[in-house]
Amino acid sequence: MIAMVTVQLCVSLFIQAVPSQSGDSYECRRRIADVHRLTTKTVLSQNAEFLLEIIPEKPLGSQSATYTLSRRGLALWTRRHVFALSQAVVCNTGHIIGAAFTFDCHENSVGDATEYLDVVILNPEGGIVLRDRNLRRPPPGHFNPPAASTPTIAQIVVDCANGVAVVRVVGSKTPWWVYNISEARLVRRFSARKQMFDGERPWRVVDAYHIPETPLLVVQWCVTERRWNEKDSTRVSGYDWDRYVDDARFSVIDYSGATVWQVDAPRDYESENLGAGLYRFLRRNPALLKASEPGMFCIRRFATGESITYRILKARSGTWDVAEVERIPFGDDARPGGPPRFEVGETMILTPA
């Protein structure tokens, strides 16, 4: 009798422990929750006329959210969609482009799911005009705990005047995705590093932003390399094998990824003595700053402690000319051109390009 009760109890506990086989099982939700945690956020348009509020239904692994778009304080529409945007940008026309992590649970496999990175465009009325679903896969090899699947969203840069959005991702051979917002279509994907003047070094993207009134982006790069530096002759090897050099580069690219201009800043981050804290420092101290006028961009040089402003103009031949306009000392109490250039909802992630 005791044995029968024990067996029944074990079977009951086993049934309770197994999650539902439905399309929204606990294990499936938990898997996505490990990828991204969502919170309520508001996103302001560049002209400050539109305000988007995103309220995910569940903070962990939410598959849906409620969206409300307001203009000058008056609500235009409220809609629920089956995705929760982790990043979003509101254009001056009321169009919305964003990225969301979504998944499809498998009916016959507990805890298994197909993961996607969705790039979504909403029209000014809140309707879905594009949902570009990109399959996410775990990296090859075995990891404990399991490594996150890729691609992952890094940044969304929007050119409102030309109706172009550039989505930068992690974990893709072509990590720059260009979309036409008004036509709601993917235009191309490219690798900017492969089109640099010397793209052999393992450059990684730190940040990028659109140069106003141009079809161009300015990009900040960094690379950390191990180099042999000569030391005193008392060392048997004669070299310092533990020397790592952190170089910076700034480039201007067009929407095909072609390099228009670039300048190197060798050992630009060494003056900060950052070591392993380099990436954290770069996230907290942007080197791409707001310029005072359209057609200009400003970069910060850490090694020299100055900010440099450039103007870019299109020549009659069709090429772009970049000229230095101003070079002034940089200080936290007097940032040139105003505050750092981070957009609302933007995330800084260092990525291969």
Whole-prediction pTM: 0.80
> 269 and 246 in contact (C-beta within 8 Å)?
yes
Distances in Å between the Cα of 245 and the Cα atoms of 90, 204, 241, 269, 349 are 39, 14, 12, 9, 20
Q: Domain residues of the chain, as ranges?
A: 19-190, 191-353
For the segment 175-203, what is each residue's pLDDT rounded down to a tens digit?
999 999 999 999 999 999 888 877 667 78
Distances in Å between the Cα of 58 and the Cα atoms of 64, 66, 175 are 8, 11, 29
The fold of 19-190 is Lipocalin (2.40.128)
Q: How far is CA 196 from the centre of its chain?
A: 20
Q: Determine the average pLDDT of the residues in 108-115.
A: 65
For the segment 281-305, what is each residue's pLDDT rounded down to a tens digit?
777 888 998 888 899 999 999 888 8
**For 88, how many CA atoms within 13 A lie in the half-sphere containing its CB?**
30
> 70 and 48 in contact (C-beta within 8 Å)?
no
Which token pair is 163? 């109706």
For the segment 245-255, what is each residue's pLDDT rounded down to a tens digit?
678 899 999 99
